[in-house]
A and B are shown apart, each in its own frame.
Chain A
């Protein structure tokens, strides 16, 4: 069965701190895709990254970085030097090759960055 677990319901940090959001997934497929989305208070969903299961290279984009580890079925997201504008709910999602249009979302982690 496919499943995405985001165990951290809510995280609160002070501005400029680094913060890591955890994501653990379950799938039987060998080909799958992992995503992160940001949902700011305004409610829309903003795409952050897509990763396929054959690419375990870590990715860095500005203050954002992602650590994909197949051995632990994890796809963690780190924000370096957090800012107030990073406050949002962050969702990790999974899709499998045979139904890659069907994103399976975790329950989200609410990040609050305090000034």
Chain B
């Protein structure tokens, strides 16, 4: 069973361009979470999605950032008009069950390192 896949692993964008980060959850997982890790810091929660639904986007910046998890295909984190401060590692995690269940666990992908020049 393949783990959580993220691509690209590294992404370089110039200021003002758009960045699209993809996350394919583990097989059978329908819960996806995005986190951001700024240099030398811990991960910060951004958004929790289920198929076709945004459950909690309280950690998403109000502007330029959006996320989706369509019925088919990977989850996408989209950053429009990137700025230098968006440079970070973006991690996706997925889970099989809902958070309330005893066996709940988030499995993390390898991350996408975004560099804005």
Contact = CB atoms under 8 A, between A and B. Distances in A.
Contacts, number: 58
B43 A103 contact: yes
A95 B56 CA distance: 14
Nearest to B6: A44
A62 interface: no
Interface string B1-31: 0000000000000000000000000000001
A105 B89 CA distance: 14
Question: Contact residue range for chain A?
Answer: 20 to 34
Interface string A90-105: 0101010001111111
Contacts of A93: 42-43
B46 to A, nearest CB: 10
Contact of B106 (A4, A44, A103): A103
A25 B5 CA distance: 31
Given A100-B99, A101-B31, A45 B108 contact: yes
Interface in B24-74: 31, 33, 35, 40-45, 48, 55-56, 58-59
Contact of A47 (B42, B58, B105, B110): B105
A107 interface: yes
A101 B41 contact: no
Q: Report, nearest first, the 10 A-B pairs whose CB atoms are least far apart.
A: A105-B42, A45-B108, A100-B99, A101-B99, A44-B110, A105-B43, A102-B45, A107-B42, A101-B48, A106-B42
